[in-house]
Amino acid sequence: MNTNTNALTHPAAPLLGRTALVTGGSRGIGAAVALRLAREGADVALTFVNGKDAAADIVRAVEALGRRAVALRADSADPKEAEGAVERAALALGGGPDVLVNNAGLGLLGPLETLTAADVDRLLAVNVRGVFLASRAAAARMTEGGRIITVGSCMTQRVPGPGGTLYAMSKSALAGLTKALARELGPRGITANIVHPGPIDTDMNPADGPFAAGQAALTALGRFGTADEVASTVAHLAQATYVTGAEFAVDGGHAA
Ligand SMILES: NC(=O)c1ccc[n+]([C@@H]2O[C@H](COP(=O)([O-])OP(=O)(O)OC[C@H]3O[C@@H](n4cnc5c(N)ncnc54)[C@H](OP(=O)(O)O)[C@@H]3O)[C@@H](O)[C@H]2O)c1
């Protein structure tokens, strides 16, 4: 019996006919993921908050690949918007999403004594609550073969220095959520996995920033990664049929 649910897909465009929602897809890792999924055949919805023009550029780039795309302003910090983006994406793309990529996240670092209760609420709202709500909404719509892929952080595996309490806490919550989602959704043929990037050259963490050299030195490869290098693992997980509840370091050996 053939149990490969991708067996009938087009080899050059394995995600053809599938729809994806990428949160925070206007820049950085999310933009690279949106483009990579489109290159592999998916129609793509992406969310943004401030980067309307940047989001429109990604939509045009996806359309240039022959796929459909839509940019949705949806702040993951707002529960209604985080959840509502899933239905808006489905309406715009005519179904799905078959693939949810929980990418939107804030990088709020700082000494323990400087982090306020408001900081905790804000970071958890975007990095954790928004992911939970989008995953729940997507799971409700997904059919067999659905894929939930979350962007965590290498700081769930190894915290290399001070300042990461809040951020590491938020991303570690996502690792637990992913495993629990895998268990709950597995019987329906839906997978949930998490990717842990190391230092990736984006606006959030530029490779020429003040702390960049130290971060690069902590990796086995001695360099920052690119958003495309993360996107390739996300795209793999969008197709993988027997991988769920798993954590993937895309960190240049940061955790080695
Ligand atoms: N870069 C790294 O070194 C690194 C390492 C580990 C993990 N990560 C994780 O990877 C993910 C992407 O990071 P990145 O480096 O690509 O970040 P980035 O360059 O700052 O881009 C963030 C993206 O998320 C969107 N966004 C921000 N806040 C949002 C919100 N409240 N609701 C919806 N969208 C929002 C932004 O949209 P607008 O521009 O429209 O605001 C933008 O598209 C994050 O979860 C981050 O924690 C990054």
At 55-84, the pLDDT tens digits run 999 999 999 999 999 999 999 999 999 999
Give pLDDT tens digits for 132-165.
999 999 999 999 999 999 999 999 999 999 999 9
Per-residue confidence (pLDDT) for residue 12, from 0 to 100: 81
| Any ligand 1 atom below 6 A from CB of 28 | yes
Per-residue confidence (pLDDT) for residue 4, from 0 to 100: 44
| Any ligand 1 atom below 6 A from CB of 97 | no
Per-residue confidence (pLDDT) for residue 1, from 0 to 100: 40
- Please say if 167 is a catalytic residue: yes
Domain containing residue 37:
19-250
Cα of 151 to ligand 1 centre, how many Å?
10
Q: Of 141, 133, 130, whose CA–CA distance to 99 is shortest?
A: 141
Residues (pLDDT < 70) of the chain are 1-9
- For residue 56, tell me if it sits in a domain: yes
| Any ligand 1 atom below 6 A from CB of 75 | yes
Cα of 1 to ligand 1 centre, how many Å?
42
> What is the domain-level CATH number for residue 103?
3.40.50.720
- For residue 177, tell me if it sits in a domain: yes
CA distance to 77, 162, 166, 174, per residue, from 106 (Å): 10, 17, 11, 13
Q: Tell me how far the alpha carbon of residue 169 is from its chain's centroid.
A: 17
Per-residue confidence (pLDDT) for residue 71, from 0 to 100: 99
- For residue 218, tell me if it sits in a domain: yes
| Any ligand 1 atom below 6 A from CB of 105 | yes
Cα of 110 to ligand 1 centre, how many Å?
18
- For residue 28, tell me if it sits in a domain: yes
What is the pTM (predicted TM-score) of this model? Answer: 0.96
Q: Give me the number of domains the chain comprises.
A: 1
118 CB-side CA count, 13 A: 1
